[in-house]
Chains A and B, each alone.
Chain A
Amino acid sequence: MKQSRGALAAILIVAAQGSQPLVAQSLMVASTAVAVDDRTRTGALTLINDGITSSEVSISTFCGYPVTDSIGRMYLRTFDTVDDTMPCAAKWIQSFPRRLRIEGKSRATVRLLVTPPADLPAGEYWSRIMVTAKGGEVTLTGLPDSARIKATLALEVRSVLSFYYRKGTPETGVLLEALRASVRPDSLVGRVRLTRQGNAAFVGSLKASLRDPGGKIRAEGLLPLGVYYTLEPSFSLPVQGLPSGQYQLAVEAVSSRPDLPPEILLQALPVRQTIQVTLP
């Protein structure tokens, strides 16, 4: 059933190409995360060049995971050197092929083979996969013809995805703490600290909702995220037009993401935290 579902999704993606306008370069990468276990040690990426020109594509890996800055924005922390304590799988991943040329309006499949150390302890190991597409150009048109000057910028577009290698049965969970919120003119900006539990990243979503005194949801939002160690993201809910008074802000971390198939995600019990907020 999983296979047929995946096949249908692939067919739909391919079929979707037909209705798009022609563009010079456009690379579609599916899926946006790859999980490989120690039984098969293989995975795959589907690449679709929806542009009208061919694209030179290369696959590379590196170590990194999302963290948050002082105001709650997520960014990818990367490492030039990786120490032994970091569960990084980047060096074990081989892609077949590593470089390929995809003609315009064509697709290709890249196989990923993981070769970990033989004595690897059970657990989850991470990497980032970077799909680099070259081929398009950002042409600087109109430079002085009289001087016969031509200028061209070679365009390189990189898409960075997450990768998980799982040995044994890793477990995950998340702890929610320190929920707080501040009221802005048109929104309620909240932050909450998420700390990973278990020995695998918590990949899921943070659901936020604002209920009025009658229990009716007046605003809600969803933030897809991955908690590798600790994350303290900010989120905002629209409150413009809501009457002043006491409201309940609830956040819930769930192990589902709308952009990822459920078989990639490790399941964990949902956790929830609430606070009271006053809208002026």
Chain B
Amino acid sequence: MSPTRSARRLALVALVSLCSAATAQAQNNATANITAAVQQPITVTKNNDLAFGNVFPGVDKTIAVTAAGAAKFTVAGQAATPVQLTFSLPGTLTNGGNNLVIDTWTGHHNTVDLATGGTSFTPSSSATTATLSAVGGNLFVYVGATVRPTTSQAAGNYTGSFTMTAVYF
């Protein structure tokens, strides 16, 4: 269950409970109306890592946004609300003086949890504007890329940073 839907259901349960309590109370006592308006917070969740599977030295490997290995994020908030997404992505991963090229970043966002049928975009520092789903207030974001290990790629631990920014207007 999505965080938004979960929060909303709980809110509904709580309101129903409050109403039931108030009704029961009315049989013997004066009542006080209790209302609660629950505003949706914004939540950004990383659901999946970017998984390249088997990669061989000297052979480029691409993970498409539709692949099982694509990175996946969920942005949740108020239904039908626009959000802006920007990304800061590396072109290389580093290990001391050694580099491992990672490029050709691809992205896809959708209001349902499918990497097809939504909107394709190129993750970058340029703004991508999307709208959270009308029901549930979710946006699913998939990111893929290509790694290009050289035939003589040095062994080691290669690192880089991946930043996603979600702007609420």
Segment 65-124 of A: residues with Cβ below 8 Å from B: 66, 73-76
Nearest Cβ in chain A — how far from B70, in angstroms? 11
Contact yes or no, B47 A19, CB < 8 A: no
Known: A141-B52, A151-B100, A157-B44. A16 touches B6 (CB 8 A): yes
Contact yes or no, B3 A50, CB < 8 A: yes
Question: What band does the interface of chain A fall in when counting residues whose beta carbon is under 8 Å from B?
Answer: 35 or more
Nearest Cβ in chain A — how far from B99, in angstroms? 11
**Interface digits, B151-169 against A, CB 8 Å rule (1 contact, 0 not)?**
0011111111111111111
Contact yes or no, B162 A153, CB < 8 A: yes
Q: Which of B40, B79, B102, B164 is close to A157, meaning CB atoms less than 8 Å apart? A: B164
Contact yes or no, A137 B127, CB < 8 A: no
Which A residues lie within 8 Å of B41 (CB)? Answer: 13, 28-32, 46, 48
Interface membership of A150, Cβ < 8 A: yes
Nearest Cβ in chain A — how far from B111, in angstroms? 14
Interface membership of A275, Cβ < 8 A: no
Interface membership of B78, Cβ < 8 A: yes
Q: Determine the distance from Cα of A20 to Cα of B116 in the docked complex, in whole angstroms.
A: 25
Contact yes or no, A5 B37, CB < 8 A: yes
Which B residues lie within 8 Å of A23 (CB)? Answer: 45-47
Q: Which of A30, A48, A138 is close to B50, meaning CB atoms less than 8 Å apart? A: A138
Which A residues lie within 8 Å of B24 (CB)? Answer: none
Which A residues lie within 8 Å of B47 (CB)? Answer: 23
**Interface digits, B101-141 against A, CB 8 Å rule (1 contact, 0 not)?**
01000000000000000000000000101000000000000
Q: Determine the distance from Cα of A33 to Cα of B41 in the docked complex, in whole angstroms.
A: 10
Q: Which of B45, B155, B167 is close to A25, meaning CB atoms less than 8 Å apart? A: B45
Known: A24-B46, A29-B41, A138-B50. A160 touches B7 (CB 8 A): no
Question: What band does the interface of chain B fall in when counting residues whose beta carbon is under 8 Å from A?
Answer: 35 or more
Contact yes or no, B160 A75, CB < 8 A: no
Segment 1-23 of B: residues with Cβ below 8 Å from A: 1, 3, 6-7, 10-11, 14
Nearest Cβ in chain B — how far from A203, in angstroms? 9
Q: Determine the distance from Cα of A75 to Cα of B7 in the docked complex, in whole angstroms.
A: 28
**Interface digits, A136-175 against B, CB 8 Å rule (1 contact, 0 not)?**
1111111110111111111111111110000000000000
Given contacts A23-B47, A76-B127, A223-B80, 13 further A-B contacts (CB under 8 A): A8-B14, A9-B38, A12-B7, A25-B45, A26-B46, A27-B44, A136-B46, A142-B55, A143-B100, A147-B153, A150-B158, A259-B39, A259-B78
Interface residues of A (CB under 8 A from B): 5, 8-9, 12-13, 15-16, 19-20, 23-33, 46, 48, 50-51, 66, 73-76, 128, 130, 133, 136-144, 146-162, 221-226, 257-262
